[in-house]
Homo-oligomer: A and B are copies of this chain.
């Protein structure tokens, strides 16, 4: 009911009309039952008055005063995509010359208001994703500052459309004013433990857009394999990938992922995690990793990046120079988690270096020494960086715009308090490690998380810019990734987009059941929440 209060000023003129329902629409009337918005918009009102949409007549068009026009291929592409979502791609949609009926909705006008619609730009942390949507006869109007808000509004519009008993598409009279609660709403996929074919990544970008996620955190390499094909150091994937041809991402694959994501308002933040998690790097880059010792002789195994050699830093400078040009986003994720000190401890040269530097036996100082130099290297590329929480915990000096990712489940609130207390921006992934599976409806657990429940000032809370659902790759590949991620990640999507007060699990259940069926209808094999069925079941295997 808080929606009504918040929204009241905007709807004063119409709120006395018969049939308007505010806020909670999983409600009394048949028509409204079938609306299934996910994530729930910030402010909306819906009415029982319904309009019909004919695929032969309905159009998505640029508004007369829009700063974007037919040359805006991002929007053009989105118009066609959402038309297909609503009407299916198999039917022929020949234009009808018949006059529309009064009860028809004939068009959605998309009105970009800013001078620069950003058609050819990339979304960023600062992107304004807000939009306003009004559905009324004969036209619906979607208003947004730029294409990014328009993409979110198109998704919402398409979610408002529902099939009636005749299979006809309907949409109710609706007014929505919407914006995300958090600016960073991410999904982490891991293409190292298992290679993820391009098709899988693209399908999940599609699903992300359906859930208004806006960051693809691409944990692209790790100990197990190095599928990123580097132009500067081609041997990294030639020797570090599971297979140098079939299990790699070529430069054009990476470009395709970035462009596919951009078209959906999704940032691609690549993670190249060092100094730990780098076993696969060692295959193609001699002397990069620390040789581990067994007593006084090298054991033949290797540890983290060797932090005592200048060559390691020279390599990183060249490597990240490439990365900074390949990936357009302002941020690169530099990892920095779970560094195992045993190999460093075993190596006599490392021990000598520790002594020279006066680090004593505190190897976290050596870790910080490495990270500090790496951060300076990356800063020189003009990129911002994200790091896992250990980098902050170890007292490394960070640039002001660093984003610290809190992933450890224990003492999560304390960590948020510390990180924000030190004035750093942070995102939360600790409660959303979706690789951990269990019997039953674990989405509810993800849904119930309140990211700002830690003790702290308002200024501290503002530093929490979002969160990420992480699907680490130990147990997932092309065979099971997509149904394992969706709709479990949808719970995180709503938590990060919708108002803090949207916490009713049973209402969420009803909407999410429909949202997952919508994803299935659109070709995403999102798994069921519980017993039941979808009108259109998954057609794949």
Contacts and interface: CB of A to CB of B under 8 A. Distances in A.
Contacts of A247: 533, 537
A531 B280 CA distance: 13
Interface stretch (A136-144, A155-163, A229-237, A476-484): A476-484
Contacts of A535: 243, 246
Interface string A517-541: 0001001011110111101011111
A225 interface: yes
Nearest to A528: B477
Given A438-B438, A439-B435, A537 B477 contact: yes
Nearest to A227: B533
A456 interface: no
Nearest to A441: B475
A506 to B, nearest CB: 18
21 contacts: A194-B533, A199-B539, A199-B541, A203-B541, A224-B531, A242-B532, A243-B533, A246-B535, A437-B438, A438-B438, A439-B475, A440-B475, A473-B531, A474-B530, A474-B531, A477-B537, A479-B520, A479-B526, A480-B483, A480-B525, A540-B540
A166 interface: no
A199 B538 CA distance: 10
B438 A527 contact: no
A195 interface: yes
Interface in A111-146: none
Interface string A321-365: 000000000000000000000000000000000000000000000
A152 interface: no
Contacts of A440: 475
Given A438-B438, A480-B527, A480-B528, 16 more contacts: A194-B528, A197-B539, A199-B541, A224-B532, A247-B533, A435-B439, A438-B439, A475-B528, A475-B530, A477-B528, A477-B533, A477-B538, A480-B480, A480-B484, A523-B541, A540-B540
A288 to B, nearest CB: 21
A247 B537 CA distance: 9
A16 to B, nearest CB: 39
Contact of A476 (B437, B475, B527, B539): B527
- Residue among A195, A525, A535 with the most chain B CB within 10 A? A525
Contacts of A109: none
- Residue among A246, A480, A526, A531 with the most chain B CB within 10 A? A531
A527 B243 contact: no
A12 B6 CA distance: 88
Contacts of A243: 533, 535
Contacts of A533: 194-195, 225, 242-243, 247, 477
Contact of A541 (B200, B436, B437): B200
Contacts of A195: 533, 537
Interface residues of A, number: 46
Contacts of A212: none
A43 interface: no
A526 to B, nearest CB: 6
Interface of A: 193-195, 197, 199-200, 203, 224-225, 242-243, 246-247, 435-440, 473-480, 482-484, 520, 523, 525-528, 530-533, 535, 537-541
Nearest to A242: B533
A380 B246 CA distance: 60
B537 A525 contact: no
A131 to B, nearest CB: 30
A443 to B, nearest CB: 11
A145 B405 CA distance: 64
A530 B472 CA distance: 12
A224 B63 CA distance: 48
Contacts of A531: 193-194, 224, 473-474
A483 B483 CA distance: 9
Contacts of A475: 439-440, 527-528, 530
Nearest to A519: B479
Nearest to A541: B203
Nearest to A486: B479
A258 to B, nearest CB: 21
A475 to B, nearest CB: 6
List 3 tightest A-B contacts by C-beta distance, closest first: A480-B483, A479-B525, A242-B533
Nearest to A241: B533
A247 B247 CA distance: 39
A247 B224 CA distance: 43
Contacts of A523: 541
Contacts of A530: 474-475
Nearest to A439: B436
B537 A197 contact: yes
Contacts of A527: 475-477, 479-480
Nearest to A536: B246
A240 to B, nearest CB: 13
A337 B473 CA distance: 39
